[in-house]
Structure 1
Amino acid sequence: MALNCELPPDEGTIRGEIELSRGATASKLAQTPQMGFNTWNSFKGNYNESTANQIASLLISLGLKDAGYNYLILDEGWSDMARTTDGYLQSNQSTFSNGIVPLAERVHDMGLKLGLYGDSGILTCGFRPGSWGYEERDARTLASWGVDYWKYDNCGGFQAMSNAPQERFAVMRDALERSGREIFYSVCEWGFQFPWHWGGEIGHSYRMSGDITATFINETGCPCKTAYCLNTGYAGCSVTSILRKMREISVYQKPGHWLDMDMLEVGVGSMTVYMEQTHFAFWAALKSPLIIGADLRTLRNESLAVLTNRDVIAINQDSLGEPVHFVQGVSVEGALQVWAGEVKGGNVVLVFNEKSYSQDVDVSLKELGLGIQRPVRAKELWSGKSWGKIDRVKAELGAYQTLVFRITR
């Protein structure tokens, strides 16, 4: 079926009145990074209403909601392959035959919030209807269904890709603001055109890189090794390749609009516990959204313990909203990474063994630029143990292990 993508007159008029500098989206929502679950990493488009209900129940029973994960986000696959005859989005008629409203009501009754996926182009990545030309209509539809979160992708743009992402994503921003419902706006445009310079004017969060994969290290799969290159690609980035990009742009993190390092692969692939701890610690300390991608029905206890570590989550949700920064002077390229930053009432320090084997580390706290001149109290958050008063981190770290310290003066 061919889709009619001509703009209705009223929506065309609205499009002509866009002011990209207005940026009212990042206001009440996103004062801390969002937390939740997304279907894509484990299910791709192969899930249904029963799966969604089961995942919602597991968010409760596994203690994830209590830990702060409150968004249930249905990625590609929830919608039908075509709009209704009068041009409205509709749920997949075979997998969500009851529509979205009953699901939203159940999710809300459980104390959770519901998110859906769409696209800024004519079609989505899975060739379902995109929202280019239908922004006002789709935003009102989402509001009428009780949707709380809108992940807006950059696939399938075709004709719409000739328009700058700033324009395409801003059109939907304005439509959501006029929808009559407060909806979290997650911009997913893979880091094209350096969105840390403009994304905060549009989305509550915005992706800073190509899609993550369930690999800890994969230096050949991610075409862009730094944040500032044009060939960002849309997929293939490992945990460490995304972390490498954040060295250059973590400074852009700010309450109200967050650089999104993509979904968590904790519990998805075959990472060791140390790898999963490192992955989660850096996503938390760099103030990325914490969006679980693992299949909660088969989640290992070790992975659940990583995802529910309250001390590490508290760093992510700290009211200051300050990310850690890479401390180049005490780091050793390819061997040791040291990151440090401020949290309310103290500091946080991450020491990451980048080697595939154990190594001894000795890091002086005085050299981290935190103003530490004497011994300070430190608690290591993965072990939960107090180190007493220290002026340096001296320890043996296992392969790819990261120690995370909460420091109080």
Structure 2
Amino acid sequence: MHSVIDDCWAVKSGRDSSGNLVADPSKFPNGMKWLADQVHGLGLKLGIYSSAGTLTCAGYPASLGREQQDANLWASWGIDYLKYDNCNDAGQSSQQGNINRYTAMRDALAKTNRPILYSMCNWGVADVWAAPIGNSWRMSGDITASFDATHSGCPATAVGGYSCSVMNILNKAAPIATKGAKGGWNDLDMMVVGFNSLTADEQKLHFTLWAAIKSPLIMGHDVTKQSATTLAILTNRNIIDLNQGTWSVATRTYQRGNIQLWQQTSPNNVDRIVIVLNSGGNDETVAVPFTDIFANDSVRQAATYTVTELWTNAVSNSVRGQISVPVKRHGVWVARFAPSGSQPTTTRSATSTTSRTTARTTTTTSNQGGSQVKYGQCGGIGWTGPTGCIDSTCQFSNPYYSQCL
């Protein structure tokens, strides 16, 4: 789990006489090395922010052309995570320009010999799907605490932008969900769970889908003021397991009006996670035939299942042929399907018995996908990946990952 510092942490007037970034002493009077030690003492890791440009998005000094110097400085402080934004790119906004700018920082982080998770915040522009470059990549514009409101700054189909709603980002993620794989993950932006502008049902839908797509789970609310409802949502171990366990990345089976069906599979393709979301304005009862869940597999379509709903732990036995599920407006129904006679092995109590609320910053992240990867063995970049082939299309081969199984 990381505590991540975002933009505006540095002195805005510039670098010191040696060309190093300087933490603002009014915000960090004891310096970043001291802060990193304190955060590490809590059992957390510390993240920091910069941009692949001449200035950050808020106009502070950034790292374009200074990649190695800045990476060395962060490593000396004990930084574990870098969010690398895409503002003020000095005209290098083409696909190759994006690749060059983000690869430069990847290489600089690798040379520090410190494992620093590399989070690319390139908003999905220039089709830089980044498994050969970063450990995660933002695939859309900035999120806002809205379930489905439209905003001129966040077009329905175009990438980039700002004030993007939960459903806007989710619908953009659906066609590229499988770009996420061991070594690199789609980042749907921080979560807005805990914001009062979303209902509890909307927050559950939001958390469920972010977890199932295996986005980094980044909390953006003030954890010192969160409600019991927010804490219960964020500590539901069944839902966390969709993100951290061995389930596949969720893919969307269909969208029919306001109803969407998403699925995850177990490694042996026997058990299923079935997710039904309702983006419409009315509660609905949705009939889901097994032909939709187990397409082109007549044996599984004919089997009988034990169905365990993951928010309530309600169990339905001997389910066969189809299931009808109640889904609230702006809500979600999510369950594990296990063939009858087999006992689910990873369904947890709905609420974790251990939760950490001691983070001193309001943004934290935790993600190792669902691949049981080891941390810190990839030439200093961070997360491990499979030998050579990074994603399911085998388009990427990356020497930084080639010895990291």
TM range (shorter): 0.7 to 0.9
1:353 and 1:401 in contact (8 A); partners too: yes
Cα distance per residue 1:309-329 (max 9 Å; x no partner): 000000111235x2111112x
Aligned position for 2:197? 270
Moved over 6 A (4+): none
How far the C-alpha of 1:160 sits from its partner, in A, is 4.9
How far the C-alpha of 1:290 sits from its partner, in A, is 0.5
Aligned position for 1:139? 71
Distance 1:269 1:344 in 2: 37
Provide the secondary structure at the position in 2 that maps to 1:393: strand
**Residue 385 of structure 1 pairs with residue 314 of structure 2:** yes
How far the C-alpha of 1:269 sits from its partner, in A, is 4.0
Aligned position for 2:349? none
Aligned position for 2:219? 292
Provide the secondary structure at the position in 2 that maps to 1:89: coil
In structure 1, list runs of 5 or more residues that go unmatched.
1-69
Provide the secondary structure at the position in 2 that maps to 1:72: strand
Distance 2:68 2:215 in 1: 29
Distance 2:196 2:125 in 1: 27
Aligned position for 2:334? 404
Aligned position for 1:326? 252
Q: Are residues 169 and 217 of structure 1, via their aligned partners in 2, closer, same or farther at CA, if it must alter by over 3 Å?
A: same
Distance 1:84 1:161 in 2: 29
1:363 and 1:393 in contact (8 A); partners too: yes
Q: Higher mean Cα deviation, 388-397 or 103-112?
A: 388-397
Aligned position for 2:381? none
Aligned position for 2:40? 108
1:115 and 1:147 in contact (8 A); partners too: yes
> Which of residues 343, 358, 365 in structure 1 aligns to 2:266?
343
Aligned position for 1:75? 6
> Which of residues 139, 157, 173 in structure 2 aligns to 1:208?
139
Q: Normalization by structure 1: what TM-score?
A: 0.77
Distance 1:356 1:221 in 2: 22
How far the C-alpha of 1:159 sits from its partner, in A, is 4.7
Aligned position for 1:246? 173
Provide the secondary structure at the position in 1 that maps to 2:31: coil
Indicate the structure whose relative CO is greater, using CA pairs within 8 Å and at least 6 residues apart: 2
**Residue 366 of structure 1 pairs with residue 291 of structure 2:** yes
Aligned position for 1:63? none
Distance 1:376 1:221 in 2: 45
Distance 2:243 2:203 in 1: 16
Distance 2:213 2:109 in 1: 27
Aligned position for 1:283? 210
Distance 1:171 1:376 in 2: 50
How far the C-alpha of 1:270 sits from its partner, in A, is 1.4
Q: Higher mean Cα deviation, 211-220 or 367-376?
A: 367-376
Greater helix proportion: 1
Cα distance per residue 1:239-292 (max 9 Å; x no partner): 001111122111212011001010000012411111000000000111111000
How far the C-alpha of 1:157 sits from its partner, in A, is 2.3
Distance 2:279 2:90 in 1: 40
1:207 and 1:261 in contact (8 A); partners too: yes
> Which of residues 163, 175, 188 in structure 1 aligns to 2:121?
188
Distance 1:253 1:305 in 2: 27
Distance 1:282 1:192 in 2: 22
Distance 2:152 2:231 in 1: 28
Task: Give the 5 Å matches for 1:90-169.
Answer: 90-161=22-93, 164-169=97-102
2:54 and 2:63 in contact (8 A); partners too: yes
* Count of residue pairs brought into register by the alignment: 330
Distance 2:57 2:187 in 1: 19
Provide the secondary structure at the position in 2 that maps to 1:217: coil
Distance 1:265 1:74 in 2: 17
Task: Give the 5 Å matches for 1:224-243.
Answer: 224-226=155-157, 231-243=158-170
Distance 1:220 1:128 in 2: 27
Q: Are residues 311 and 176 of structure 1, via their aligned partners in 2, closer, same or farther at CA, if it must alter by over 3 Å?
A: same
Identical positions, percent:
36
Distance 1:347 1:80 in 2: 50
Cα distance per residue 1:192-219 (max 9 Å; x no partner): 01223xx111000001111111000023
Q: Higher mean Cα deviation, 377-386 or 387-396?
A: 387-396
Aligned position for 1:312? 239
The letter of the residue matching 1:119 is S
Distance 1:208 1:187 in 2: 9
Aligned position for 1:177? 110
Q: Higher mean Cα deviation, 143-152 or 246-255?
A: 246-255
Task: Give the 5 Å matches for 1:218-229.
Answer: 218-221=149-152, 223-226=154-157
How far the C-alpha of 1:384 sits from its partner, in A, is 1.7
Cα distance per residue 1:137-167 (max 9 Å; x no partner): 0111011000000000001223554771111
Distance 2:154 2:141 in 1: 9
2:239 and 2:310 in contact (8 A); partners too: yes
What is the root-mean-square deviation of aligned Cα atoms in Å? 1.6
2:154 and 2:161 in contact (8 A); partners too: no
Distance 1:389 1:294 in 2: 41
